[in-house]
Amino acid sequence: MSDNSKGTPPPASRLLGWLLLVLVTTELFYLYSDIEGAGIAAQVLVLSLFVLGWRTLRLREIYLVIVCLALFGLVWLSGQPIVYVTFEGLSRAAYLASFILLMALLREGALTSPSVLEVGTFLTRQPSSRRFVTLFAGGHFFAVLINLGALSLLAPIIQRGVRTNIAKGVALDEISQVRERRQLCATIRGFSWFLVWAPTAVTQAVMPTLMSGIDATRLMIVGLGLAILMFVVSWAEDTLRWQGFARRLQAEGRLPVITTTRLPKKAAQNLGLVCLALFSLSISFSKLADVTIVTGVMLTAPIVVCAWIYLQQYAAVPRQRCAVVTNRLNHITFTSMPGYIREAMFIACAGFIGTLAAKLVPAADVAAVIGLTRLDGWFVLWALTVSVWVFGQVGLSPITMAVFLGSLVAELPNLPVDITHAALAIAAGTAVCTTGAPFSSGALMLSRATGHSAFTLTWRWNGTYTLASMAVLGMYYWVLTGI
């Protein structure tokens, strides 16, 4: 495969590239050494993002910076130890910004991988009886591997497959519209539920840093069980919604015949090996350094990406191979990664806002007013999930709410639920937001990739499914707290 990184990046891009490289390196050093000076350096570097990246600021980031400053002022006026609280907020901001940048590396490795394209195409070329299952599973799998890149990868393949025999500029007929809608819904639903268990999800990165006592392994196992349950709910809702439509087409003799492609075994094997390397190395680093699995993933990501890119050029002559790989890594560092600076600033602000906002809420007084200890455990968990979803409707980032609620829960006295279950409920709220809130990152990403509005993708296409999910989650929490 030829290298697609041409041209020398401008000085501003190179400067940002160096800043991001030093930031993630410093944060990793701090996480694995626990040297306080490294942590402070990472906090200074995350502030530098806004100084050097001011030209990239848009309305969303400007609004978040203003909120950060307002909360800083309120904490100061409240008489709390402003230096300690600020450093706590900056520490979380540096951690989350580094995490999102390191996970973005996996997407960069996928961009030039023929195996990713082959498997993605296979998932969309299935008959209707298997299409929802394969796309839900595919969206979930790719989300674990490349996070938001799963949506930007699969969406164009889906639309290209639906529009294969339709002339450019011609509107889709009824059957094609439904095919596109069902495939996109399956993809975003599969993507959303990786948030409740996968160590490459930002929710799993942030929860253990907010609430002490979380059993990360149990959180992954219970979360994976929830993801499987929500697959069944998703499939059932899709089947019930469209079974009448399928019967009508069959009666009219218009049921389309889809040519099924065979599973590209070599490509699937290659991606399986990438995942195996990612998780085995992550677990090894977490055990050896006594850190969380998510922290292990953060160190593993750049190692796996370097190996992945090298193996993509394995057929080339060794000297040429090294040159292409070097050029590709330079392109990623100084061109691609600076393109993620807005995402890094956004997630950094989310961490800072959530941390400081929680400091302004008197947790003990709130618990007393609502009678927290008298509430049923399942209802407490369900209320945490609903809170993330409700505030997501008014444009508040699910991650901001996750940090806020996680920080608040950590301060609550006599919490009537297991702390690990509380983390799961908050993560489930972010998953529900992905399909049920038009301002979530997943909905916005899919909207940009397809041209459909985020309101259509969430409220119109997935509104009923979201409400059904909330009902099922209530029952799931009831069973979970009764075990």
CA 235 – CA 166 distance, rounded (Å): 28
**Structure tokens of 349?**
């602000």
| Best mean pLDDT range from 206-215, 256-265, 382-391 | 382-391
* Structural domain total, the chain: 1
Rg of the chain over Cα atoms, rounded to whole angstroms, equals 23
Per-residue pLDDT, averaged over 10-23, amounts to 92
Whole-number pLDDT of residue 120: 87
Query: Is pLDDT at 366 greater than 80 in this prediction?
Result: yes
pLDDT digits (tens, 9 = 90+) for 38-95: 999 999 999 999 998 888 888 878 988 999 999 999 999 999 999 999 999 999 999 9
Alpha helices in 78-171 (DSSP H): 82-111, 114-124, 128-146, 149-162
Q: How confident is the model at residue 7 (pLDDT cuts 50, 70, 90)?
A: low
Whether residue 1 lies inside any domain: the answer is no
Q: Measured in Å, how far apart are the chain's first and last C-alpha atoms?
A: 53
Query: Is pLDDT at 474 greater than 90 in this prediction?
Result: yes
Spatial contact of 351 and 403, defined as CB atoms under 8 Å apart:
yes
Quickly tell me which residue has 């639906």 as its tokens: 162
Q: Residue 67 phi/psi, 5° resolution?
A: -65, -40
Q: Measuring CA to CA, which residue among 186, 267, 299 is closest to residue 234?
A: 186
Percent of the chain with pLDDT over 70: 96
CA 92 – CA 161 distance, rounded (Å): 42
**Structure tokens of 123?**
């998932």
C-alpha angle 470/476/479, rounded to 5°? 150
Per-residue pLDDT, averaged over 364-370, amounts to 87
Spatial contact of 298 and 31, defined as CB atoms under 8 Å apart:
yes
For residue 129, what are the contacts with CB-CB under 8 A and spacing of at least 6? none
DSSP state at residue 9: P
Helix 419-436 to helix 441-450 angle, to the nearest 10 degrees? 30
Quickly tell me which residue has 């993560």 as its tokens: 427
Per-residue pLDDT, averaged over 220-245, amounts to 95
Amino acid (1-letter code) at residue 108: E
Whole-number pLDDT of residue 225: 96
pLDDT digits (tens, 9 = 90+) for 93-125: 999 999 999 998 988 888 888 899 899 888 888
Whether residue 49 lies inside any domain: the answer is yes
Q: How confident is the model at residue 167 (pLDDT cuts 50, 70, 90)?
A: low
Whether residue 421 lies inside any domain: the answer is yes
Spatial contact of 26 and 38, defined as CB atoms under 8 Å apart:
yes
Spatial contact of 5 and 331, defined as CB atoms under 8 Å apart:
yes
**Structure tokens of 74?**
């309120």
Q: How far is CA 270 from CA 105, 118, 171, 223, 274, in A?
A: 18, 11, 38, 26, 6
Whether residue 2 lies inside any domain: the answer is no
C-alpha angle 351/356/361, rounded to 5°? 130
Q: What is the mean pLDDT of the chain?
A: 90
CA 225 – CA 433 distance, rounded (Å): 19
Whole-number pLDDT of residue 2: 41
Quickly tell me which residue has 């916005």 as its tokens: 444
Amino acid (1-letter code) at residue 32: Y
**Structure tokens of 406?**
């996680």
CA 107 – CA 110 distance, rounded (Å): 5
Query: Is pLDDT at 147 greater than 90 in this prediction?
Result: no
Least-confidence region, from 179-188, 260-269, 333-342? 260-269
Whether residue 4 lies inside any domain: the answer is no
Q: Measuring CA to CA, which residue among 482, 327, 471, 348 is closest to residue 403?
A: 348
CA 234 – CA 241 distance, rounded (Å): 11
Whether residue 112 lies inside any domain: the answer is yes
User: By CB neighbour count within 10 A (0-12 exposed, 13-18 middle, 19+ buried), where does 232 fall?
Assistant: exposed
Whole-number pLDDT of residue 165: 66
Spatial contact of 367 and 469, defined as CB atoms under 8 Å apart:
no
pTM listed for this prediction: 0.88
Q: How confident is the model at residue 200 (pLDDT cuts 50, 70, 90)?
A: very high
Amino acid (1-letter code) at residue 309: I
In the chain, how long is the greatest CA-to-CA distance? 73
Percent of the chain with pLDDT over 90: 63
Whether residue 5 lies inside any domain: the answer is no
pLDDT digits (tens, 9 = 90+) for 452-473: 999 999 999 999 999 999 999 9
Query: Pseudo-torsion of CA 99, 412, 380, 391, nearest 10°?
Result: -50
Per-residue pLDDT, averaged over 331-348, amounts to 91
Domain that holds residue 117: 11-251+262-482
Query: Pseudo-torsion of CA 402, 408, 414, 417, nearest 10°?
Result: -10
Q: How many CB atoms lie within 10 A of CB 483?
A: 5
For residue 222, what are the contacts with CB-CB under 8 A and spacing of at least 6? 197, 420, 421, 424, 480
